[in-house]
Amino acid sequence: MCGMPQQHPDRSTGSTTARPDASMSLLTNVMDHSLDDGYAEAAARRSAEGGGLPKTLRAKLGLAAGLVLAGIVVTVGAAQARVSAPVVAKERQKLIDRVEAATDRADRLQKTVDTLRESVGRQQRRALEKHGGPQGQSVALQAGATPVHGPGVKLVVDDAKGAGQGGDGARQGSGFADTGRVRDRDMQRIVNGLWQAGAEAISVNGQRLTALSAIRAAGDAVLVDNRPLVPPYTVLAVGDGDRLRTAFENSADGQYLSVLVENYGVRTSITTQENVRLAAAPSLIVRTAEPVGGTRERSADTGKGIS
């Protein structure tokens, strides 16, 4: 037992003698078993659990390592981007230069075409006025070869509000789901109605109509002589303003336009004008006419009606 005096036998005499420090057994035990062993055991246990580092410290070290790795990746990516950026910018600039050069070339060619077209039109008009006399001037007017101005009417036709967002039904026999859009056949009837009402010259959105003009459709777009028009469609007609307006509104084509307004929401307005100016048609096809009085004359086709 701890604290009991210990006796050791004396080999020479055979008797038992006590140790000098027998009375200090507790201090002897403390000295023999120091606290270093406990510290060693605790250190060994911490080493086995995680290399002797607390969990929070290990987490911080892991986060720091991840941030360092991310920084390295970002730095490498930025360096690569700086290296490749000049090459990409140079190629992009080359492409921009090519596009701009092609655009400039196309603009110059278009100006040349417009100039030549105007020159041809002037020569044709002079030929009609010179060789046709009064009859040639009338033919030139009816064929749209000369600019005109005078009293007339202005008719504006526009799609219904929300056209293209969906309609309320379909026009019977139209072949299209009606969305309140003005169709090519609608413009055909409007123009032909104005001709029949006494119009001497007509233009749609500045496009002068001739006897050879055609109003067609390409999808939902309305074309006049293969040129697309954008609503609202402004129809200018030269003639006796009040008489022309009244005759058109009372005609079958005027009633047809009223039906479009009432049933499909098409918007329209017609007003008389004191002075309407129409430019000449951009191009004119001159055909050979039948001989008159033994002289073979060249004139323009003057038939009315748009198809």
Express each pLDDT in 161-217 by its tens digit: 877 554 444 444 444 445 688 999 999 999 999 999 999 999 999 989 987 888 999
Distance, in Å, from the CA atom of 147 to the CA atom of 257, rounded to the nearest integer, reads 28
The average pLDDT across 28-41 equals: 62
Express each pLDDT in 62-72 by its tens digit: 788 888 888 88
| AA identity, residue 117 | R
DSSP assignment of 71-112 equals: HHHHHHHHHHHHHHHHHHHHHHHHHHHHHHHHHHHHHHHHHH
* Residue 20, CA distances (Å) to 5, 9, 39, 157, 212 in order: 10, 14, 31, 131, 143
Distance, in Å, from the CA atom of 123 to the CA atom of 125, rounded to the nearest integer, reads 5
Beta carbons within 8 Å of 69's beta carbon, 6+ residues apart: none
Express each pLDDT in 267-289 by its tens digit: 999 999 999 999 888 765 555 55
Q: Tell me the pTM.
A: 0.52
Express each pLDDT in 291-301 by its tens digit: 555 444 333 33
Domain 147-279 class in CATH: alpha beta
Peptide linkage before 228 cis (omega within 30 of 0) = no
